């Protein structure tokens, strides 16, 4: 591993974590759109995925599970509802409950193969061990910096952010 200079002005742009993370995100979104298509955005997919795993949870919990701010979640939910993929209703304590509609379930089901292709495409060129290491390091990075986010991830107590991928 290269030793970085003490003077920040001497650190090459392409050795800066923030720049590399931005590029990785840029590539990830581009590949998502190429492989999955433009019918659903990556963040809409994340919301749909959470709702597929936890039907009927409230909008605040969805925002916390996806690590987005509540106003963005409300906008995304409105768009998903307009597309007929989710329904919103007022639940306990006045919170909006979100559920996939039959069309939303069908969409999510239809995305299984493209999402697998997306994963394979993004990790192409890495060995299985490198892929596992990359995902472990990304989870560790996200976990250690979670509280620095404007919309920290808040998952159920039984879910770990750091560690190996779920079995």
Q: Indicate whether 116 belongs to any domain.
A: yes
For residue 97, what are the β-bridge partners?
58, 89
CA pair distance 63, 37, nearest whole angstrom: 23
* DSSP secondary structure letters along 25-54: HHHHHHHHHHHT-SSS-HHHHHHHHHHHHS
Q: Indicate whether 160 belongs to any domain.
A: no
Residue 165 pLDDT grade (very low, low, confident, very high; cuts 50, 70, 90): very low
Q: Indicate whether 138 belongs to any domain.
A: no
Per mean pLDDT, which range of 53-57, 139-143, 155-159, 160-164 is the poorest? 160-164
| pLDDT of residue 22 exceeding 80 | yes
The domain containing residue 72 runs over which residues? 16-122
Give rounded-to-5 percent helix, strand, coil for the chain: 60, 5, 30
Q: Indicate whether 157 belongs to any domain.
A: no
The C-alpha angle with vertex 139 and arms to 104 and 95, in degrees rounded to 5, equals 40
pLDDT (mean) for 145-161? 69
CA pair distance 85, 6, nearest whole angstrom: 51
**Overall domain count for the chain:** 1
Residue 161 pLDDT grade (very low, low, confident, very high; cuts 50, 70, 90): very low
| pLDDT of residue 157 exceeding 50 | no
Q: Full-prediction pTM beyond 0.85?
A: no
Q: Indicate whether 29 belongs to any domain.
A: yes
Tokens representing 80 are: 């998903």
Residues in the chain: 167
CATH code of the domain in which 82 resides: 1.10.10.10
What is the tens place of the pLDDT at every residue in 95-109?
889 999 999 999 999
pLDDT at position 156 is 67
Is the distance from CB of 46 to CB of 98 less than 8 angstroms? no
Q: Indicate whether 132 belongs to any domain.
A: no
pLDDT at position 4 is 64
Q: Indicate whether 142 belongs to any domain.
A: no
| pLDDT of residue 35 exceeding 70 | yes
Q: Indicate whether 37 belongs to any domain.
A: yes
Helix (H) or strand (E) holding 87: strand 86-90
What is the tens place of the pLDDT at every residue in 46-63?
999 999 999 989 999 999
């Amino acid at each position: 591993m290269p030793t970085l200079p003490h003077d920040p002005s001497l650190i090459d742009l392409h050795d800066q974590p923030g720049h590399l993370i931005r590029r990785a995100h840029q590539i990830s979104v581009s590949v998502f759109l190429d492989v999955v298509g433009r019918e659903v955005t990556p963040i809409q997919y994340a919301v749909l995925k959470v709702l597929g795993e936890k039907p009927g949870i409230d909008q605040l919990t969805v925002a916390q599970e996806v690590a987005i701010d509540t106003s963005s979640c409300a906008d995304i939910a409105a768009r998903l509802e307009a597309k007929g993929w989710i329904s919103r209703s007022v639940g306990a304590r006045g919170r909006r409950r979100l559920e996939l509609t039959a069309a939303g379930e069908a969409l999510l089901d239809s995305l299984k193969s493209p999402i697998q292709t997306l994963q394979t495409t993004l990790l192409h060129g890495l060995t299985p061990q490198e892929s596992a290491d990359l995902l472990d390091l990304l989870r560790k990075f996200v976990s250690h910096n979670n509280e620095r986010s404007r919309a920290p991830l808040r998952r159920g107590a039984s879910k770990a952010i750091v560690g190996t991928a779920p079995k």
